[in-house]
Amino acid sequence: MPRVPRASDVIEIFSERSISYAFAGIVSLAFAGLLWRYRGDGMLSGLAITLMVAGVGCIIFAIFCGLQVRKVTTHDLKCPYCESPNVLVAAPTEDLPCTTCNRMIPVIDGKTVPVSQVRCGFCNELNFYSEKTEVLLCESCNHEIPIAHDESGAPRKTIPAAFVVVDDEAMYELQLTGHGKHKEEELIGALQHILALNRGQVKQMLAELPVTVLTGITRKKAEMLKAQLGLYEGEVEFHPMEEVRR
């Protein structure tokens, strides 16, 4: 089955078609008007009429595409990794990448599958898995992390002692302590999206480093945001809020 498209992609396609055909229609009508006015003994009349018909057709199709934008339905799907919304036109039929963190969102029957965390016994890095995970390779060291499965094939809650599931209920504070110069524009764009701030406010933050980005977030979200901002050379730290108060 084909993947369910994102609502933003469908809206963009119809909008581009509407604008393109509207522009083509206006140009055709304008050129047809000039030919009709200077048709002379009628030699250009046929071409003028053809362009008029084509222009009217383009404008009608542009209006049709514009109306389709208003008919696009939406289905919200929350990423279990970074908790960002992903808006589709219908319930998904298969896993899809998150628009924010680019991880594959596990889906069963059109609904998001919850994910859990496990710490790699080789390099101590956190990794995510869900009931759909069959083989888990550490994202850092590429070692296989053994996950026990029950009779139905779903991962069990108990994992060997060296690979303990992390249940961290503490709230964390995320701080940006520095950044590189090569991807500063990408970092500004990412912070604008995460914090819903304008460009000027984000640039002011970067001028006042170190600066607190978010407070009261889970460790899972802090890990994801650190990884996301790290892609753009953002130097990020996060600490439990109780530790910050001390």
Q: Among the residues of the chain, which ranges form H helices?
A: 7-37, 45-70, 184-195, 199-206, 219-230, 241-245
Is there a domain that residue 152 lies in?
no
More confident residue, 229 or 3: 229
Is there a domain that residue 187 lies in?
yes
Which of residues 26, 45, 70 is at a domain's end? Answer: 70
The pair of structure tokens assigned to 200 is 């000027």
Q: What is the pLDDT of residues 63-92, one digit of tens each?
A: 999 999 989 988 899 998 888 889 999 999
The pair of structure tokens assigned to 40 is 């002379």
Structural domains in the chain (count): 3
With a CB cutoff of 8 Å and minimum separation 6, the contacts of 177 are 209, 210, 235, 236, 237
Give the predicted TM-score (pTM) of the model: 0.52
User: Are residue 55 and residue 81 in the same domain, yes or no?
Assistant: no
Full residue range of the structural domain in which residue 51 is found? 7-70
What is the C-alpha to C-alpha distance for residues 238 and 50, in angstroms, rounded to an integer?
Answer: 67
Q: Are 121 and 163 in contact (CB under 8 A)?
A: yes
Q: What CATH number is associated with residue 233?
A: 3.30.1390.10
Local structure of 136: helix, strand or coil:
strand
Is there a domain that residue 150 lies in?
no
What is the C-alpha to C-alpha distance for residues 80 and 132, in angstroms, rounded to an integer?
Answer: 13
The pair of structure tokens assigned to 173 is 């504070």
User: Are residue 65 and residue 89 in the same domain, yes or no?
Assistant: no
User: Are residue 62 and residue 106 in the same domain, yes or no?
Assistant: no
Q: What is the pLDDT of residues 18-47, one digit of tens each?
A: 999 999 999 999 999 988 888 767 667 888
Is there a domain that residue 160 lies in?
no
User: Are residue 107 and residue 52 in the same domain, yes or no?
Assistant: no
Is there a domain that residue 45 lies in?
yes
Q: Are 125 and 139 in contact (CB under 8 A)?
A: yes
Is there a domain that residue 159 lies in?
no
Q: What is the pLDDT of residues 91-124, one digit of tens each?
A: 998 898 888 888 889 999 888 999 888 877 777 7
Local structure of 150: helix, strand or coil:
coil
The pair of structure tokens assigned to 88 is 């589709």
